[in-house]
Amino acid sequence: MAVINGTSGADTLIGTAGDDQIRGLAGDDILNGGDGNDLLIGGTGADQLIGGAGIDTASYEDDVSGNGVTLNLKTGEHTGIAKGDTFSSIEIFKGTAYSDVFVASASAETFDGSGGFDRVDYSTSAQAINITMTNATSGTGVGGDAQGDVLTNMEVITGTAYNDVFNLSLGTTTIYGGQGNDVYVVNGTAAPSLFEYAGGGDDEIRTNQSRMTLAAEIERLTYTGSGNFTGYGNTGDNIIIGGAGNDLLIGGAGADQLIGGAGTDTASYEDSVSGGVTLNLKTGEHTGIAKGDTFSGIEVFKGTAYSDVFVASASAETFDGSGGFDRVDYSTSAQAINITMSNATSGTGVGGDAQGDVLTNMEVITGTAYNDVFNLSLGTTTIYGGQGNDVYVVNGTAAPSLFEYAGGGDDEIRTNQSRMTLATEIERLTYTGSGNFTGYGNAGNNIIAGGAGNDLLIGGAGADQLIGGAGIDTASYEDDVSGNGVTLNLKTGEHTGIAKGDTFSGIEIFKGTAYSDVFVASASAETFDGSGGFDRVDYSTSAQAINITMTNATSGTGVGGDAQGDVLTNMEVITGTAYNDVFNLSLGTTTIYGGQGNDVYVVNGTAAPSLFEYAGGGDDEIRTNQSQMSLAAEIERLTYTGTGNFTGYGNAIDNVITGGAGNDIFLGGDGGDTFNGGDGIDTVSYNDSRITGVTINLKTGVHTGIAKGDVFNSIEKFVGSMQDDIFVGTGAADNFDGGAGRDTVSFALEDSAITLDLTKPFTGAAAGDTYTSIEVFEGTAFNDTFIGGAGADTFIGGGGADFIDGGAGLNDMASYTTSSAAVQLDLQAGTANGGDATGDVLVNIESLHGSEFDDTLAGSSGSNQLYGGGGNDWVYGGDGDDFIVGGKYEPASLNGPSHDGPAEADQLFGGNGNDTILSANNDTGTVIHGDAGDDSITVYHGTAYGDEGNDKLTGTGSDYQLFGGAGADQLTLSGSGYAYGGEGGDTYIVLSTSTVLIKDDGLTGNDLVKLQNIQSFQDVVIKTDGTSSYIFSAAALNAGNEHPAVVLQDWYAGSSTIESFQTANGDTFTIPA
């Protein structure tokens, strides 16, 4: 072989008679191969390649440009390093190492793509071509411009505008079919890439492969093999034809014709990514990617991964829902169907359009307008029954979802399962098993029939028929969520709540809701279970008395009348009859309404019932062995049946309370009560009276307060109320315990003087008496003698010239509250005159209490407590730290003004010492002087003078006046009033929300006003009229209250100023004078 290489210039290179290899290199060269099979490589430049005799090749394998070449043998217009080249007697064209394009001519050519991704282009052919590929890149052609062509290393073929045929059996050839109705015969292991353009003819793939997908814009797919075939369409309108096997045809989008042929063939939509489909085999109107599809020879229909609908035809079809929540629809069937499901989503059908049908992956079934039957034994199938009287046979472990529409027939569930709930609009539930059954109704009118076991029937809302059958059966309303509860009236059959309209047959137990239910018993033996809530069994319609025995708070049994044979469970309330009922209670908190009749409540053990009787509802009684018991309202009698000590409480009506052999305590409350103590040391107590005291007069039997009308039998001790009580003994050995309050033992009814020495055993009228918590002793109208003990005793001498010795204790008081005239008492001088004080001798007395008249009271040099009582009194404390009250002695007077009544213009003087002085509430006209010492004075409407010392003055009402006097005084203003601090550094505390007036001499000390009624300095508004200064609360002004909080009177009159002001949060400020 001759190898001839040119130069970079324009060479003419001529070969030998043999096989030559000629390279032109650069320049516009002429290469002439001569005889032999020559290889001509022109290189760059516009070269003339002349093959001569033999099989000659024009090659561009030396190209290093990276661009490849285009050889257009039709037009002679080439690109790349082939640009300008011409060919003569060339049979083979070989490309570069890059991607080349060969446009064929009508001549027979061999195209060798060499390296790269190369294409042969027949698009300019005037006739159709037929290409047969022997592998992915090699083949031969016939017809048109392909006639005689040989293809090597050719990855891409572009067809003509005519009806081309491409025969492919191996490899991955890429074909661009072009216009025309092209046929792609794809057999063997060929996996070509096929491209057709929109409108590029009616193209077809014919294949014997077991799986094939139509490329875009190819319309037909025909299986030519003999086995089972899977064919995929594209988004266009396809015709997919199967063969003799069991084919799977997947049309995809577009209006497809799926032709199954022989075998059991499937039309599948499992490739859908846009949603589910509806296949209506009755009308042929489909949706989703199935829209426009037609079927021939298709036995199986398979849905998408989404929710699909299959409308069955009269043919025997297999429906496979695939993924999603799929439904087969028999609503258009002209006859009833009978479906038997083998699991949740699989089953078979007979009758109507279901005849011969097989269901797979089918979650929902829609029935016909006729009387359908659905046999369900496994899973969770959803059934829409449609019209007609449908029957659902639900056995095994089936848990279907069943749907019926209103008016959709008289439908029934028959089941052998132990528990079943009627779906909405299904009317009947029948148990077909042999065990115990729990059946739930719906909101409609149901018929629920149990079996031979102990059944639980729960009808729900609606007028239901509950048929228990054999066994111990229960009608239950525990599913009620209305919050209203039910009333079951087994006497009249008139029920309320979700039980309204219900009827019962063969029901032994009635169970209520979680709310408050009422059960009206009949004469039959029933078990009532209240379940949750506060439930009541009602025997008020019984024609005879009942006897109920409760074993705990809510459980019990009954005999007699309508309670005969009854069992009660979770029953909080029982209503008795109009007759003489008996209720036996030993545990818990049962509530009983006794009704008319003389009812007996036997309350033993730990029972704590709530018992109710109506006014006039008989003479009722509680009998108890408990150590403590209170009579409920309108129960008249309380009898203790135990052996120990007993505490019995009455109610507001007239009671009879009877104790036992122990030491009993009775608290009768209101009403005229009779107390029968029995054996032991028995006590009647009134310490349940918290507002009003009592008078116990054992001499006359006439009592007051809640003791009014009481009768005592075998009672040894009396205990007073929480208030001030009076005890009048019998002259025998009495035992009085005053309890709380300021209690009095009175001898005022005795017909001779008494001597009462609290340090020795009592004699005379008090002989044998025992006194506890007795603070006051009242004498007779004669000359009595009182000797106090170690405590703070109070003696009311009464009439006569009495000798009163307070004894060893402090704060002993001589009281003249019962005096019919004013008294004059001076502890320092030891004188007693006027009214009941006339002739009295007071020894060791530290405290005085005046009468209701205008008294004069003077203390001693020690510390005294002086109470003016009513009237316009003159009270002087004298030396010592005294406690002075213008009104009466009351617990409230220890902390503030006391004693309501007519206005009192008292004159109160502290004297020397640090005194505490309180006026009465009605103290208009009262004047108080603290005198010397650091005094604390409180007035309501009166006038207070601190005088000397560092005093604390408080005004709590209105129109009061506070004068501090000398010293650093504290003046507290509540309500509305006036304060003048006087000399010294005074502090004014303003608590009032009304207007108060303040004036100070401003001469000595640092004065301070604490504005507790204004939160901060930001809330302070100051105004002036040139004489006085006015302090407002900004918040009050904004709320429309234009009254000043404080008026600083004569603020600008000379040196009358206060040095500083302070708000509630501690802010301080000054006001220029």
Query: What SS3 string covers 956-1012?
Result: CCEEEEEECCCCCCEEEECCEEEEECCCCCCEEEECCCCCEEEECCCCCCCCEEEEC
Give the model's pLDDT for residue 368. Answer: 98
Q: Which tens digit of pLDDT belongs to each residue from 508-556?
A: 999 999 999 999 999 999 999 999 999 999 999 999 999 999 999 999 9
Q: Which of 82, 98, 114 is the last residue of a domain?
A: 98
Question: Does residue 104 lie within any of the structural domains?
Answer: no
Mean pLDDT for 165-172 is: 93
Q: For a pLDDT cut of 70, what percent of the chain falls above it?
A: 98
d(CA 83, CA 36): 26
| Residues forming a β-bridge with 171 | none
Mean pLDDT for 24-52 is: 96
Mean pLDDT for 448-464 is: 96
Q: Which tens digit of pLDDT belongs to each residue from 731-771?
A: 889 999 999 999 999 999 999 999 999 999 998 888 999 99
Q: Which tens digit of pLDDT belongs to each residue from 292-302?
A: 999 999 999 99
**pLDDT band, residue 398 (cuts 50/70/90):** confident
Q: Which whole-number Å values give the CA distances from 103 to 6, 107, 109, 121, 146, in the listed order?
A: 28, 11, 10, 5, 10
Question: Does residue 1002 lie within any of the structural domains?
Answer: yes
Q: Which tens digit of pLDDT belongs to each residue from 793-809?
A: 999 999 999 999 999 98
Mean pLDDT for 122-151 is: 97
Q: Which tens digit of pLDDT belongs to each residue from 206-233?
A: 999 999 999 999 999 999 999 999 999 9
With beta carbons less than 8 A apart as the criterion, state whether 1021 and 1029 touch. Answer: no
Question: Does residue 690 lie within any of the structural domains?
Answer: no
3-state secondary structure of 796: strand
Q: Which of 43, 78, 98 is the last residue of a domain?
A: 98
| Residues forming a β-bridge with 592 | 574, 611
Give the model's pLDDT for residue 1001. Answer: 76
d(CA 360, CA 499): 42
Q: How many CB atoms lie within 10 A of CB 706?
A: 23
Whole-number CA gyration radius for the chain: 59
- By residue count, the chain amounts to 1073
Question: Does residue 156 lie within any of the structural domains?
Answer: no
* Residue 575, both tokens: 């209503």
d(CA 109, CA 104): 7
Give the model's pLDDT for residue 896. Answer: 39
Mean residue pLDDT across the chain? 94
Q: Which of 63, 98, 133 is the last residue of a domain?
A: 98
Q: Give the domain extent around 39.
A: 1-98
* Residue 441, both tokens: 């109704």
Residue 360 burial (C-beta neighbours within 10 Å; 0-12, 13-18, 19+): middle
**pLDDT band, residue 891 (cuts 50/70/90):** very low
Q: Which whole-number Å values give the CA distances from 1062 to 56, 206, 474, 964, 1047, in the listed order?
A: 121, 106, 77, 20, 15
Question: Does residue 440 lie within any of the structural domains?
Answer: no
With beta carbons less than 8 A apart as the criterion, state whether 442 and 460 touch. Answer: yes
- CA nearest neighbour of 726 among 692, 755, 676: 692
Question: Does residue 141 lie within any of the structural domains?
Answer: no
Question: Does residue 1026 lie within any of the structural domains?
Answer: yes
Question: Does residue 852 lie within any of the structural domains?
Answer: no
Give the model's pLDDT for residue 847. Answer: 96
**pLDDT band, residue 1054 (cuts 50/70/90):** low
In the chain, how many domains are there? Answer: 2
